[in-house]
Structure 1
Amino acid sequence: MGALIGVLLAALATMSVFIGVSDVSPFALVEGDATATFLLAASRIPRTVAVILVGASLGIAGLIMQMLVRNRFVEPGTTGVSEFATFGMLVTMIFWPGMAVVGKMGVAALFGLIGTWVFLQVVKAVPVRQLVLVPLVGIMLGGVVGSVTTFLAYRLDLLQSLGQWSQGSFATVMQGRYEFVWIAGAMVVVAWFAADRFSVIGMGEEFATNLGLDYRRVVAIGMVVIAVITAAVLVTAGMIPFLGLVVLNIVSLVIGDNVRRSIPWVAGLGAVFVLACDIVARVVRFPYEIPLSVIVGVVGAALFLWLLLRRRSRAR
């Protein structure tokens, strides 16, 4: 299975590099076409690398979120974290419109961290007996925050500016506009080193404490990783919903819930999934592009409903 993911990743990455309106074919590169070479280095390769990093990092963010909440139906897009980060972007537009992108990412990460904390507190306060209700609580929380964000943006005539951050797409990604997503890649490495701790806290606070683990510290690390990944992806490509939900449940069905064992699978399959959706978004209405968030949202929502129905049928 791992070899298959590797082959798919290599094949899709190669396809992604050569798909586009301008001629960047292998023949043009062999002939020494300067324009093709420039486009390859400045646009096609950065876009493909960004897609891979976003898919891998969002999958890992979802994995950590599931360990924190102990629920396989949650990820940043179903817990309100993405909406909180988007609200942070709106705050920078209102109070610091000239702020550099790195500053916007920092503010978005801070609001994403707050959103993660709020969701965890809501889940603790609300007695939820059914696992499928936990993501619904998160979706409602995200809906409230998203509504407030949209209202403020409408009142301040910032809807169009906010739209470029809230709609997931790699159409504008090029050299100089994707480097922040490497920070999300660095968070994947952090998750790898803390994988065993995340596995333990996934068994509950009491169990982790009995094993001598600092539960709050590990949860804090997980919250920071989730917030930074969400913010880095937001400033690079916008919001991409349901990604963690799709990838994590597929991996869980194949190899189980061990975090350290799951990380390379989740990262690889996440990259493959986003690459495939990005290619579909670019070729369905060629030479125009459909926003990636539309493709991922349709697939992710369909799988989410299937998982809910599957859980309900098992309960019967």
Structure 2
Amino acid sequence: MPISSTSRASTTAEAGSASNPRLSARRRLARRTWWTCVALVLCLLLLVVVSGAVGAVDVDPTQAAQIVLGHLVPGMPWMSDGSLTPLQDQAVWQFRLPRALLAGLAGAGLALAGALMQVTVRNPLAEPYILGVSSGASVGAVLVIVFGSAALGGLSLNLAAFAGALGACLCVAALARKDGALSPTRMILAGVALGTLFSAVTSYLTITTSAQNVVSVLFFLLGSVSAATMSSLIGPALALGAAVVVSGLLARSLNALMTGDESAVSLGVDATRLRGLLLVVASLLTGTVVSVAGGIGFVGLVIPHIARIVVGADHRRMLPVTVLGGAVFLMGADLLARTVAAPTEIPLGILTAFVGAPFFLWLMRRGGAERAGFGR
């Protein structure tokens, strides 16, 4: 019986894959990345619906989905069947949905910033917070809380936090330069020193202000998305979109930088300029998130590490998983923060540390850093 051309081509392709194990491994990783991203997107959709249903106002998940779809697709009959009240609509659309979306944007932004920073310093324990960016943003925000926006030229709390993050970024870049190049070791040392200094300033402002301001300061420093509105999503969404585009275009250069400066230069990558760009992108992204969600740590440390273990260190695969994983992680953490001690709400910074620190220590115990490509 003659063999068809299709069967012959399939047999040839299989033989080619069998003779090239590296190509076969890349295909397996590509499939794993695809299905991981699909699973994370489904988790995001599920978390949006569940978050919309959880709260003081009684709304079940089906009703929460009806409300969201009714606003996204006007004219559909879901909102006019009489089963949904204006209070339910307001609770889901104006309060719970913006909160869930802001948590997702903040988690994605912090995770991406952490991934970029780990490449910048070639250290799996690096994250934007270690460079003092979060502490700089906190100083700007606390100054507005304590002295008012008029004392800072009319800057709002969000803009003051963003300005503090940008100032910290510029200070770290200036202190980390050695012989005209950015030194990864000096960046970490400068970041730790500046972060400690900024934290001391924040602590001094906190203990010298009124009790009412102390509550506001602590709530901001510990992180929360409870005050989210649709308008507060614009800044993080724009920053995340720009960072995703830039990091996607630089994915191959990031891979080269991971191998070391000499190898990167031999491949045509300007390591110093790339490090400077990554520092700015990660810091501005972190500053934007901190300005609307406060100090939420650990996301940028753990999520990129897990993504590398799951899909490998190639940034063309790792970055999408990191962004989606960060969004899922912080949305889930916010849902727990609202429910685990209800009616009391746990600050996100506390919850992410409790959840993430033991898991990260377990990963280190299992040798995750080496498997993620940082063990060289």
Q: Pairwise mapping of residues 34-45 of structure 1 onto structure 2 (< 5 A)?
A: 34-45=86-97
1:287 and 2:332 are equivalent in the alignment:
no
CA contact (8 A) 1:59 1:270 kept: yes
**Cα gap change, 1:300/1:81 in structure 2, threshold over 3 Å: closer, same or farther?**
farther
Distance 2:268 2:189 in 1: 33
| CA RMSD across the alignment | 3.1
2:198 counterpart (124, 145, 150): 145
Unaligned runs of 5+ in 2: 1-35, 68-77
Question: 1:130 — aligned with what?
Answer: none
Q: Compute the TM-score of the two structures, normalised by the length of structure 2.
A: 0.72
- Which residue identity lines up with residue 241 of structure 1 in the other structure? G
CA contact (8 A) 2:307 2:322 kept: yes
**Cα gap change, 1:172/1:139 in structure 2, threshold over 3 Å: closer, same or farther?**
same
1:173 and 2:228 are equivalent in the alignment:
yes
Question: 2:73 — aligned with what?
Answer: none
Distance 1:115 1:244 in 2: 21
SS state of the match for residue 72, structure 1? coil
Q: Deviations over 1:183-234 (max 9, x none)?
A: 3322223222222222222223332222222323322221121112111111
- Which residue identity lines up with residue 347 of structure 2 in the other structure? P
Higher-Rg structure is: 2
Distance 2:369 2:248 in 1: 35
- Which residue identity lines up with residue 55 of structure 2 in the other structure? G
Question: 2:118 — aligned with what?
Answer: 66
Deviation at 1:252, TM superposition (A): 1.3
Moved more, 30-39 or 247-256: 30-39
Distance 1:120 1:261 in 2: 30
Q: Pairwise mapping of residues 66-85 of structure 1 onto structure 2 (< 5 A)?
A: 66-85=118-137
Question: 1:154 — aligned with what?
Answer: 207
Number of residue-to-residue matches in the alignment:
309
CA contact (8 A) 1:113 1:226 kept: no
**Cα gap change, 1:204/1:85 in structure 2, threshold over 3 Å: closer, same or farther?**
farther
Q: Deviations over 1:74-105 (max 9, x none)?
A: 11233432112222334555541741355324
Question: 2:49 — aligned with what?
Answer: 14
Distance 2:124 2:260 in 1: 14
CA contact (8 A) 2:138 2:161 kept: no
- Which residue identity lines up with residue 221 of structure 1 in the other structure? L
* Fraction of identical pairs, as percent: 29
- Which residue identity lines up with residue 16 of structure 1 in the other structure? S
Unaligned runs of 5+ in 1: 128-133
Question: 2:254 — aligned with what?
Answer: 198
**Cα gap change, 1:135/1:8 in structure 2, threshold over 3 Å: closer, same or farther?**
farther
Q: Does 1 or 2 have the higher relative contact order (CA < 8 Å, sep 6+)?
A: 1
CA contact (8 A) 2:133 2:166 kept: no
Distance 1:72 1:149 in 2: 28
SS state of the match for residue 42, structure 1? helix
Q: Deviations over 1:132-163 (max 9, x none)?
A: xx979965653343123212443355644433
**Cα gap change, 1:100/1:126 in structure 2, threshold over 3 Å: closer, same or farther?**
closer
**Cα gap change, 1:210/1:312 in structure 2, threshold over 3 Å: closer, same or farther?**
closer
Deviation at 1:53, TM superposition (A): 1.0
SS state of the match for residue 2, structure 1? helix
Distance 2:297 2:54 in 1: 24
**Cα gap change, 1:111/1:85 in structure 2, threshold over 3 Å: closer, same or farther?**
farther
Question: 1:226 — aligned with what?
Answer: 282
Distance 1:121 1:87 in 2: 24
